[in-house]
């Protein structure tokens, strides 16, 4: 069995520095905690990969295309197939005063944005700051343990997976021939994250669901007192 660009896969994986087995990334919460890299902001569990979307490194995508559902595989990627080789020209020395002017107190390991490029602070001293725009794992061989849990063929499953990935939980989704209706009732918290995630989800749906031409979004809002009454009624029932 083989997979192609456009296929939706749900996978679990752990990536390690091949040299010292340090965990770089994982979908397994226990592995993250054991490796002291647990981040409460990260949602652990199966990850959605859309082949051809350039969301994972080139070597991992190549391996996934040749794997089978339910089978686990281990492999090691060279830097050029993982996070790239290190480029010394991406390492810069900047005056500390430039950071202070923006109320930034740089520390080694800090991730910062410089001219729309994310970089890592490597060292601070003598009024100078060394910043590195290489990927933190550039130049490393990466060892992966990967398992494909399922391949999503049904359009509804693909839509649901995209909603989970962008952390949007519609109350209901109705499918039609080339369109869908997406409902968010009054129980859905409509804060800043909701609006950002909703916009990202809609863009992803149009990009990756090929037979989708139209999305109608239905949002319900009620006054706070009315919302409290609705919740009280549901608790009684």
| Residue 39: CATH number of its domain | 3.10.50.40
pLDDT value at residue 237: 63
Instruction: Return the higher-pLDDT residue of 227 and 148.
Output: 148
pLDDT value at residue 2: 86
pLDDT at residue 215 tops 70: yes
Q: Are 111 and 146 in contact (CB under 8 A)?
A: no
* Among 203, 195, 208, 186, CA closest to 168: 195
User: The tokens of 193 are what?
Assistant: 């994250």
CATH number, domain of 103, equals 2.40.10.330
How much is the average pLDDT of 182-186? 95
What is the count of structural domains for the chain? Answer: 3
Tell whether 8 and 113 lie within a shared domain: no
Distance from C-alpha of 158 to C-alpha of 125, rounded to nearest angstrom: 50
Q: What does the pLDDT look like over 10-57, one tens digit per residue?
A: 999 999 999 999 999 999 999 999 999 999 999 999 999 999 999 999
In percent, the amount of the chain with pLDDT more than 90 equals 89
- At residue 229 the predicted structure's pLDDT band, cuts being 50, 70 and 90, is low
pLDDT at residue 95 tops 90: yes
Instruction: Give the structural domain span for 191.
Output: 154-237
User: Which SS3 state, helix, strand or coil, does residue 152 take?
Assistant: strand
């Amino acid at each position: 069995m083989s997979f192609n660009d456009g296929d939706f896969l749900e996978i679990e994986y752990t990536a390690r520095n091949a040299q010292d087995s340090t965990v770089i990334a994982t979908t397994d919460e226990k592995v993250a905690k054991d490796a002291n890299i647990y981040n409460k902001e990260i949602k652990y569990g199966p990850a959605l990969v859309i082949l051809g979307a350039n969301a994972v490194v080139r070597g991992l995508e190549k391996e996934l295309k040749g794997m089978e559902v339910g089978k686990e595989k281990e492999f090691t990627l060279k830097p050029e197939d993982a996070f790239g080789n290190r480029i010394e020209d991406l390492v810069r020395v900047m005056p500390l005063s430039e950071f202070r002017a923006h109320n930034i107190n740089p520390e080694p390991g800090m991730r910062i944005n410089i001219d729309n490029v994310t970089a890592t602070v490597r060292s601070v001293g003598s009024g100078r700051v060394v910043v590195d725009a290489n990927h933190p794992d550039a130049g490393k061989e990466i060892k992966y343990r990967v398992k494909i849990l399922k391949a999503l063929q049904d359009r509804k499953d693909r839509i649901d997976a995209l909603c989970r990935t962008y952390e949007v939980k519609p109350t209901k989704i109705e499918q039609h021939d080339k369109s869908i209706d997406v409902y968010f009732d009054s129980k859905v918290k409509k804060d800043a994250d909701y609006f950002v995630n909703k916009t990202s989800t809609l863009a992803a749906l149009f990009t990756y669901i090929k037979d989708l031409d139209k999305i109608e979004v239905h949002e319900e809002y009620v006054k706070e007192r009315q919302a409290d009454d609705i919740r009280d009624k549901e608790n009684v029932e």
